[in-house]
Amino acid sequence: MNKKERVHYIAEKLEELYPQVPIPLDHKDPYTLLIAVLLSAQCTDARVNTITPLLFERADNPRDMIKMSQEEIQDIIRPCGLSPMKSKGIYGLSHILLDKHEGQVPQSFEDLEALPAVGHKTASVVMSQAFGFPAFPVDTHIQRLAYRWKLSSGKNVVQTEKDLKRLFPKETWNKLHLQIIFYGREFCMARGHQIQNCEICRTVGARV
Q: Which residues are known to be catalytic?
A: 121, 139
User: Do residues 154 and 147 make contact, with C-beta atoms less than 8 angstroms apart?
Assistant: yes
Q: Which of 116, 119, 58 is nearest to 92 (CA)?
A: 116
Q: Which of 157, 161, 188, 185 is nearest to 173 (CA)?
A: 161
- Compute CA distances 83 → 41, 54, 117, whole Å: 10, 15, 12
Q: Which of 178, 109, 108, 112 is nearest to 139 (CA)?
A: 178
Rounded Cα–Cα distance for residues 30 and 168 (Å): 26
- CA terminus-to-terminus distance, the chain: 17
